[in-house]
Structure 1
Amino acid sequence: MVLANCRAQFTAADFDFVARVLARKGVRHISMVELLSDPECRDEMLDNLSVSHALFSGEGRLEVSQQLYFYVVARTVLRRQGIEDRELADYIGALLTKFSETQKLHSPHDKLPHQFSYIADMLDSLATASTAESFLIRAHIGNYALFLSGMFHAWVERRQQRGAPDFSFYEDIGRTSFRRAAQDKIAYQLDLAQVYHQLADVFRHARLALNELAQKVWNPDTEPPLAM
């Protein structure tokens, strides 16, 4: 499932890229040891606008990990919406990484047989789900609602004109799902309770941040994979 763990998965190539970008901009030399061993130093360097500008321009896109790329671009657009929490950016970066695989987009967990394309089907499945499955499905509904309404803004608008749910539906169902997931003991065991609470509180602003991101990194008219 989606965990706030992008920063825990950065590679040596990621740190080398960051150091090279900052060195060109006149930032003091940052050693690999500092970036690897000092989380505060690492986070400060990743917030430097030179890093996000380089990634948004396409530089380094093929040499850095998905975790670095999605963390930095998510962090950048979230801050423009007034969302400063790095843990939240880490989670949304992980969400974008995970949902870049079509199979992960439609499945709450690798070990569950469920494959969903409709939020209504996810809600219906809660009636027969176990306690653990209910937690996974609720978390997935929140993630799915945020991803679709955030990264596929134009698609939602086109479908809305034909009577499909509008953005208020995604925001309401996303907030509710994250709040319910946050109350589950499994969320506390996975250190996700606080992240889910925050996502419930700032869902609309997070969605708007992803709308901006979609405009910057791909064709905004793109439809989600296997959309029904």
Structure 2
Amino acid sequence: MILDHPRLFEAMVMPQKAAILSPEFYFFVMVRHTLKRAGVDDLEVADYIAAVCADFGLPATARQQLPASRLASLYSVDYIQALENAGAHDRFFIHVQCANQFLVLTCLYPDFLHRRAERRGAPDVDFYEKVVISHLEAAGKHALAEEFAMEDTLAHVASAFPPVRRAMNHTVREYLSLGA
């Protein structure tokens, strides 16, 4: 597959050439390259993580308006409280949003989480990695996961997440400047 070619990744991360790329394309190539290098060759996992990373940068009005989209927090306890007050239908979306929020933070902004842990005594990356996994697993077991044909994808992302997160952290440090 041409999207797997190492020279495509190199061309994207080399600073001397500017190109206008969609966030979806950019993150897919970056994530796919990173995961293959880490031994994770699952296209579903790469596609999911790339889509979440690309979506994270969109303004709120561009995202699909889901009940959970009103909740944007850096604290996992806020998601737990929202789950306690949510109906069965909304619980799926809250689990997915929580997992996605902390997936982005742990994959792309680990230094932010480390600094926060040092300064404020907040949980570190390893804690949030577990949050991602538990919410992906919970979402994958929800009836809506079957309806949306997401059961396998959510399970694959959850099971692959620890090495995926570490590989993404390496790529961010080596190739990206996210200003975190």
- Give distance in 1, aligned partners of 2:23 and 2:128: 26
Match runs of 1:20-99 below 5 Å: 44-58=1-15, 59=17, 61-62=19-20, 64-99=21-56
What's the TM-score once normalised by structure 1's chain length?
0.70
Kindly state the Cα deviation for residue 102 of structure 1 after the two structures are TM-superposed: 5.2
2:72 to 107, 116, 122: 116
List gaps (5 residues or longer) in structure 2. none
Matched-pair contact (CA < 8 Å) for 1:70–1:96: yes
Q: How many residues align?
A: 174
Kindly state the Cα deviation for residue 199 of structure 1 after the two structures are TM-superposed: 1.6
Matched-pair contact (CA < 8 Å) for 1:78–1:209: yes
- Give distance in 2, aligned partners of 1:211 and 1:61: 24
The alignment partner of 1:165 has SS state of coil
CA RMSD between the two structures: 1.9
Is 1:189 the counterpart of 2:147? The answer is yes
The structure having more radius of gyration, on CA atoms, is 1
The alignment partner of 1:202 has SS state of helix
Indicate the residue corresponding to 1:142 in structure 2. 99
Residue identity (%): 26
1:204 to 159, 162, 170: 162
Indicate the residue corresponding to 1:172 in structure 2. 130
Greater percentage in helix: 2
What's the TM-score once normalised by structure 2's chain length?
0.88
Kindly state the Cα deviation for residue 79 of structure 1 after the two structures are TM-superposed: 1.3
Kindly state the Cα deviation for residue 194 of structure 1 after the two structures are TM-superposed: 0.9
2:176 to 203, 217, 223: 217
The alignment partner of 2:34 has SS state of helix
Matched-pair contact (CA < 8 Å) for 2:66–2:93: no
Which segments of structure 1 move beyond 6 Å, counting only runs of 4 or more? none
Indicate the residue corresponding to 1:8 in structure 2. none
